[in-house]
C-alpha cells in the first residue's frame, strides 16, 4: 500500500465551492482522508491543491499525423498543464470510426501517455455525415462519446437517426453548432473589424441558427447532448430555455474564446485563428458570465496541434486551431485575477462538470475519489516561450505573453507524473 500525505495546502473544492486551508492523505491511488493540513507529510507551502483537470475535446494526431502530436507528447503536455484526463477527438487520419481503430488508439494511449486517456469515436463513418457508425460496438470497445468534431451533419434525417440510436444506447453525443453553409470559409467574425482587415467572416447568428436546430433534435430524441463550444451572446438564451425545459443538454467553451477576442488577430497572426473564429469583446464577456452562472458547464482546451507549414500561410488560408494543454491553467488564471471567476468556479468547469458529464468519479476532493490532483501557484509570473512547450506543435496564441499560474506537481492515481520530487 502506497501512502502519501500532503499538508499545508490551499484546497480548491469545486463541489462545496470552498477555497480553504487543509491537506489530503492518498492511499492506493485514491483520496483516503481530508484533514486540516497540519502535522507530518509533504509541505505544499500554501500552494493550491485541486482536482486534476478533465479536458474534453483534445486532438491527438494518432493515427496519421504523429509529426503534429503523439500520445507521448500530448500526455507529457497534459501532465505539465495539470490535466489528468484527456478526452480525445476522433478527427484523425483515418477517423476513429471502427472498433479496430479505437482499440489501436486506446492501446497507444496506455503505452505512451502518463495521464488517463478516454477516446471518443465519430458519429458518422469518415465524418462525412451520410452513414452513422456502429455506436454499440464502439461503446463496447471503449468510446466514451460520439462526435464528428467540427463537421456539422447537414442531413437532418441522418442526424435524427444517429441521435435516436445514441439515445437507445445511452451514448453521449457532442456537437458543433455552427450553421455550416454560413460558416464555410470564414476566418473572422463579421463586423467592422473584419471588414477593415478584409477577412472572410461569419455572423454570430450562424451559431444561434446552429443551436436552435440541435435543441430541436434533442427535444425530439431525448438524447444526451453536449455542445462543444458556445462563443456568442446570441446562443445563450436558447441554451437557457432548453435547460429550463429539462433537456439533457450541457455546453462548453474553449479557453481561447474566454480569454481572447477578435482584436487579437489585428496583425494577421495565424496562431490566433481558431474555429469558431474569435468573437467581439461583448460576446467574450457574455460567455465568461455564463460560465460564472453555470449556464455554460465546461471549459476545455480544444487542443488542436498544427504544424508550422499549415500556419505560415495567409490568414484566410491557414489551418485553424491552437495547442492549449499546457496553457489551459495559466490562461484560466486570467479569469481569476480579473475577478470574473473564483478558483472553485473555475474548477467546477475545468474538472467537476466534465467528470460528471462523462460519469467519472474524478473532479472531486472527497474520500474515495481518484487521487488525480494538481498543485499550482496561481500567482507565479512568467513569459511563455512556445518552444519550451512539450507538445510537438507550437501553435499557441500565447507565445511571448505575460502570464500567471504555474503547475508545480501533478498526480494521476496517486502517482506523481509531473514536477520535482516532493
Instruction: Specify the pLDDT at position 371.
Output: 97
Residue 358 pLDDT exceeds 70? yes
Residue 378 pLDDT exceeds 70? yes
Q: Which domain holds residue 146?
A: 52-364
Instruction: Specify the pLDDT at position 177.
Output: 93
Residue 8 lies in a domain: no
Q: Please give the model's pTM, rounded to 2 decimal places.
A: 0.96
Residue 339 lies in a domain: yes
Q: How many CB atoms lie within 10 A of CB 229?
A: 27
Q: Give the total number of structural domains in the chain.
A: 1
Cα–Cα dist 39/205, whole Å: 57
Residue 147 lies in a domain: yes
Whether residue 22 contacts residue 6, with contact meaning beta carbons closer than 8 Å, is answered with: no
Reported confidence tier of residue 2, pLDDT bands at 50, 70, 90: confident
Residue 151 pLDDT exceeds 60? yes
CATH of the domain at 297: 3.20.20.140
pLDDT in tens, 159-189: 999 999 999 999 999 999 999 999 998 999 9
Alpha-carbon distances, residue 359 vs 18, 24, 57, 144, 146 (angstroms): 23, 24, 16, 9, 15
Residue 141 lies in a domain: yes
Residue 282 lies in a domain: yes
Residue 5 pLDDT exceeds 70? yes
Residue 307 lies in a domain: yes
Cα–Cα dist 76/69, whole Å: 11
E-state strands within 73-227: 83-88, 116-119, 172-175, 188-189, 201-202, 224-227
For residues 292-308, give the mean pLDDT. 97
Cα–Cα dist 17/87, whole Å: 25
Whether residue 11 contacts residue 36, with contact meaning beta carbons closer than 8 Å, is answered with: no
Burial status of residue 316 (CB atoms within 10 A of its CB: 0-12, 13-18, 19 or more): middle
Q: Which of 9, 73, 17, 81 is nearest to 255 (CA)?
A: 81
Instruction: Specify the pLDDT at position 1.
Output: 55
Residue 128 pLDDT exceeds 80? yes
For residues 194-200, give the mean pLDDT. 89
Residue 399 lies in a domain: no
User: What is the share, in percent, of the chain residues with pLDDT greater than 90?
Assistant: 93
Instruction: Specify the pLDDT at position 420.
Output: 82
Reported confidence tier of residue 266, pLDDT bands at 50, 70, 90: confident
Residue 378 lies in a domain: no
pLDDT in tens, 312-354: 999 999 999 999 999 999 999 999 999 999 999 999 999 999 9
Reported confidence tier of residue 49, pLDDT bands at 50, 70, 90: very high
pLDDT in tens, 54-83: 999 999 999 999 999 999 999 999 999 999
pLDDT in tens, 220-230: 999 999 999 99
Burial status of residue 284 (CB atoms within 10 A of its CB: 0-12, 13-18, 19 or more): buried
Instruction: Specify the pLDDT at position 421.
Output: 67
Amino acid at each position: 500500500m502506497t501512502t502519501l500525505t500532503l499538508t499545508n495546502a490551499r484546497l480548491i473544492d469545486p463541489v462545496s465551492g470552498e477555497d480553504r486551508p487543509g491537506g489530503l492523505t492518498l492511499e492506493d491511488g485514491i483520496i483516503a482522508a481530508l484533514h486540516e493540513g497540519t502535522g507530518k507529510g509533504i509541505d505544499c507551502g500554501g500552494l493550491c491543491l485541486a482536482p486534476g483537470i478533465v479536458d474534453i475535446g483534445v486532438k491527438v494526431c494518432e493515427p496519421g499525423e504523429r509529426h503534429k502530436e503523439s500520445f507521448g507528447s500530448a500526455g507529457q503536455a497534459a501532465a505539465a498543464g495539470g490535466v489528468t484526463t484527456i478526452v480525445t477527438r476522433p478527427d484523425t487520419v483515418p477517423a476513429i470510426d471502427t472498433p479496430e481503430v479505437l482499440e489501436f488508439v486506446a492501446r497507444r494511449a496506455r503505452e505512451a501517455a502518463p495521464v488517463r486517456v478516454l477516446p471518443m469515436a465519430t458519429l458518422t463513418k469518415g465524418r462525412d455525415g451520410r452513414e452513422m457508425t456502429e455506436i454499440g460496438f464502439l461503446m463496447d470497445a471503449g468510446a466514451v462519446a460520439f462526435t464528428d468534431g467540427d463537421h456539422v451533419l447537414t442531413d437532418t434525417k441522418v442526424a435524427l437517426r444517429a441521435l435516436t440510436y445514441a439515445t437507445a444506447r445511452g451514448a453521449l453525443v457532442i456537437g458543433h453548432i455552427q450553421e455550416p453553409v454560413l460558416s464555410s470559409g470564414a476566418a473572422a467574425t463579421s463586423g467592422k473589424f473584419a471588414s477593415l482587415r478584409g477577412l472572410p467572416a461569419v455572423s454570430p447568428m450562424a451559431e444561434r441558427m446552429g443551436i436552435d436546430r440541435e435543441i430541436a433534435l434533442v427535444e425530439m430524441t431525448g438524447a444526451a447532448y453536449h455542445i462543444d463550444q458556445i462563443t456568442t451572446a446570441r446562443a445563450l438564451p436558447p441554451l437557457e430555455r432548453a435547460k429550463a425545459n429539462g433537456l439533457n443538454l450541457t455546453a462548453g467553451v474553449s479557453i481561447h474564446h474566454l480569454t481572447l477576442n477578435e482584436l487579437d488577430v489585428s496583425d494577421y497572426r495565424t496562431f490566433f485563428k481558431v474555429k469558431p473564429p474569435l468573437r467581439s469583446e461583448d460576446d467574450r464577456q457574455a460567455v465568461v458570465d455564463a460560465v460564472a452562472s453555470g449556464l455554460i458547464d465546461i471549459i476545455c482546451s480544444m487542443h488542436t496541434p498544427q504544424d508550422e507549414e499549415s500556419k505560415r500561410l495567409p490568414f484566410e488560408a491557414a489551418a485553424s486551431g491552437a495547442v492549449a494543454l499546457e496553457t489551459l491553467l495559466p490562461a484560466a488564471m486570467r479569469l481569476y485575477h480579473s475577478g470574473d471567476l473564483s478558483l472553485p468556479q473555475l474548477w467546477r468547469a475545468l474538472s467537476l462538470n466534465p467528470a460528471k458529464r462523462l460519469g467519472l468519479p474524478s473532479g472531486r476532493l472527497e474520500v474515495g475519489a481518484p487521487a488525480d490532483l494538481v498543485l499550482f501557484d496561481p500567482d507565479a509570473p512568467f513569459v511563455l516561450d512556445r518552444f519550451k512547450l512539450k507538445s510537438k506543435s507550437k501553435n499557441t496564441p500565447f507565445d511571448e505573453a505575460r502570464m500567471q499560474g504555474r503547475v508545480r506537481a501533478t498526480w494521476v492515481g496517486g502517482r506523481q507524473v509531473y514536477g520535482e520530487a516532493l
